[in-house]
Amino acid sequence: MDGWHGYGGAAVAGTATGMLARVEDVDWASLSHAYGDASDVPELLRGLASADPAERDIALDGLYGAVHHQGDVYDSTVACVPFLFALAGDAAVEDRGAIVGLLRSIAGEEEPDPDEIGGVFEDEEEDAAWVANFVTAAALVRGRADFFLERLADPDPQLRAAVPGALAQLHSDPARAFAALRSRVPVEVHGSVVRSLAEAIGALGVAHEELRPEAGRCLADVLASAGADPAVCLTALTQLALCAPQLLPADSVESAVDAMRRAHESGPGATDGHQERPRTDTMASYLRELKAAHQPGIDAGLAHDLLRELHVALDDRTEERFGLLHAQLRTPDRGQRLAAVQEAGRLLTGWRAPNDLAVALLARQLAEHDEDLSRAALSELAYVHPIAGVTADVLAACLVEWEDDWDPADWQRSLFGGALKALALQGDARAVPCLAAVLDGGGGVPERLDRWVEAMDPRARARLAPVLHDRLARMGSRAGGAVRARLTDALGVCAPAASLPLITTALYGDHYGTALGALARYGPAAADTAPRLRELARDTSSADQHGRLSAAEALWAVSGDATHVLPVLRDALAGDRWYARERALLIATALGPDAAPLAPRVRALITGAEGCPAQAAITLWHIRRDAAEVLPVLLDQWTTTPGSRPAAAACLVSMGRAAAPALPLIRRELTSARRHDNTGTRSNMRYDVAADEDLLDSCRRLTAAPG
């Protein structure tokens, strides 16, 4: 490779035609990619220079799929770099922006770290060669970063749009790159290029504090001069929020809303300078089609992800974010509203809403008689059911409208099923007749049906109990699986006396595990099952401790005798399965002082490497009632493991005045815009609203308590 290395560096400056004429000078067969030797690479490189757009797509797809497979870098990848630069520098080659994108990907977002890349191969030399490919390729691309500076004013707008991001990512002199980008802003007339300039300037400002003030001022100028281009406006707002939020104008939301309006009024069909492309069986073609499919009714120059990026950039500025969301959910643009429904789910589950307007606007989408829009809104309303009470009347009306539009086999995928789930999770009794009809009619039994039933009041449960009983009884003693477990768990929530024999019978069959949770809910009413539960708790024949722990939990609930429960918990707490330890701690918490013999092991789980400090501290409090021993642990874990906060807050409530040192943390929690388990990821994560609402309730009780 050393001899080739010098040749490649000299050849970059030539035209693509001259460079490709010498492509066979490289011994590609001696090089490799993801699927073997690289003898097919010359054809792929020539394909990038083809006049046929389909051939260019196929070639680009082949290079990503083999030479740069899933981000990997091979010796053939290194050998391609000079040819890719030559292609990107030849004005006669089409799609040069895509080639720049490939070069950026080969170089990596950051300079490669050998410690992170290595360790793939056991053989040290083989592993070192693997790492060297990444390092060499990155050095080749980054070493030619001035190439991108020289093409900021290229006549091809597609290339000009690709170059700013490359400069921000790859150039070794951020100040020089920034100055070049800033100088292009006043003279650039192409919307997609202005957006690219703004994104690159914002990225440099975020990454380099010394550039941030000037980057903010430049972005403010871009926003002020955005004119009629809604995408430029949204991009500038987003980058300002990331780079210099103090410079965001007071009317930022109004500006974004106006940009949305202008995007809608411009109508579909704008191409932003790009020509229609033929469809090919490639990833590039697929991504273009996917993007188009998700942008119905929206100007093609305005991608949905601009509004998404703006939400991400605004982060905890919930006043602006909810204001923007409300406008998105009201827009006449159907495509924008469909995207807004998904954003509503992310925002409402990750952040604490100031009022009910967002969920009310979600429910309003159901009146549009648009199946996709309704389905999406119902899905999000189910996620946010603890705060969606204002939507109950709308959901109940929808159930009436759709009550004849379901089939037992797939009712859960119907609009009727979505409305039923969202209403039932709110605990609304109007869901009971519909749920009873589904279960009685042989409809599929939904996952976590017990949560639906648990949300309802005792009278509603009493109305459902006979239906659940009959459906379970019809299954027969041999039928089992998930459906039996779901019905049994739901029936256990109702705990009707008439159903106890039906559930008890399962204890002596092959499906005894499905009955244990239900019997625990029956409590002393199921005391006659204690002998069988003791037998199951003693059964150590299975390596899985789940059954023993469930039996022990039920045994404690029905008998109140810890004698046969403690050995099961002791084994689990001493074991190496974290889920078993967590479960055992929860059961020991229910035992309270009766779990005193377990206190030393529980205490060890607070400080040990394999421990679960927050839950162990909560359990220890319920066993010993010594606030001085556990309060420092809870305060520390409040910050280090946010997921423990709901349980910790409930524990603090039970401490009464002894929890006073926690009040600063509690008050801070009540002022937080984020829900407690929001880690700030940019995924489509839906966070646990119910747990967060329980946390807030405990925090309010703590701050309201006298003294």
Instruction: Say if 291 falls within a structural domain.
Output: yes
The residue among 371, 369, 487, 464 whose CA lies nearest residue 418 is: 371
Instruction: Say if residues 212 and 244 touch (Cβ distance below 8 Å).
Output: yes
pLDDT of 14: 44
The residue among 663, 652, 645 whose CA lies nearest residue 621 is: 652
Same-domain check for residues 139 and 154: no
Instruction: Say if residues 298 and 307 touch (Cβ distance below 8 Å).
Output: no
Output the domain CATH number for residue 216.
1.25.10
Same-domain check for residues 163 and 289: yes
Instruction: Say if 498 falls within a structural domain.
Output: no
Instruction: Say if 615 falls within a structural domain.
Output: no
Least confident stretch, 156-160, 291-295, 571-575: 291-295
Same-domain check for residues 127 and 160: no
Largest CA distance in the chain: 90
Instruction: Say if residues 134 and 196 touch (Cβ distance below 8 Å).
Output: no
Instruction: Say if 387 falls within a structural domain.
Output: no
Instruction: Say if 129 falls within a structural domain.
Output: yes
Select the more confidently predicted residue: 587 or 292. 587
| Per-residue pLDDT tens digits for 617-649 | 999 999 999 999 999 999 999 999 999 999 999
Residue 188 makes CB contacts below 8 A (sequence gap 6+) with: 160, 194, 197
Instruction: Say if 384 falls within a structural domain.
Output: no
Same-domain check for residues 51 and 164: no
Mean pLDDT of the chain: 90
Same-domain check for residues 37 and 71: yes
Least confident stretch, 32-36, 299-303, 449-453, 492-496: 299-303
Per this entry, what is the length of the chain? 707
pLDDT of 297: 36
| Per-residue pLDDT tens digits for 377-396 | 999 999 999 999 999 999 99
The DSSP element (H or E) to which 546 belongs, if any, is helix 546-559
Same-domain check for residues 156 and 122: no
Query: Which one of 125, 144, 163 terminates a domain?
Result: 144
Same-domain check for residues 106 and 179: no
pLDDT of 26: 94
| Per-residue pLDDT tens digits for 144-178 | 999 999 999 999 999 999 999 999 999 999 999 99
Same-domain check for residues 29 and 136: yes
Average pLDDT over residues 589-599: 97
Per 3-state DSSP, what percentage of the chain is helix, strand, and coil (rounded to 5)?
Answer: 70, 0, 25
Same-domain check for residues 117 and 152: no
| Per-residue pLDDT tens digits for 239-271 | 999 999 999 999 999 999 888 888 777 765 444
Tokens 């056991």 map to which residue?
A: 122
| pTM of the predicted model over 0.85 | no
Same-domain check for residues 7 and 86: yes
Number of domains in the chain: 3
| Per-residue pLDDT tens digits for 486-521 | 999 999 999 999 999 999 998 987 778 889 999 999
Instruction: Say if 458 falls within a structural domain.
Output: no
Instruction: Say if 338 falls within a structural domain.
Output: no
Same-domain check for residues 234 and 134: no
Query: Which one of 290, 312, 334 terminates a domain?
Result: 312
Instruction: Say if residues 352 and 318 touch (Cβ distance below 8 Å).
Output: yes
Print the domain residue range for 48: 1-144
Task: Identify the band that residue 476 occupies on the pLDDT scale cut at 50, 70 and 90.
Answer: confident
Task: Identify the band that residue 272 occupies on the pLDDT scale cut at 50, 70 and 90.
Answer: very low
| Per-residue pLDDT tens digits for 110-148 | 999 998 999 988 899 999 999 999 999 999 999 999 999
Task: Identify the band that residue 1 occupies on the pLDDT scale cut at 50, 70 and 90.
Answer: very low
pLDDT of 207: 96
Same-domain check for residues 127 and 185: no
Query: Which one of 97, 129, 144 terminates a domain?
Result: 144
Task: Give yes or no for residue 563 having a pLDDT over 70.
Answer: yes
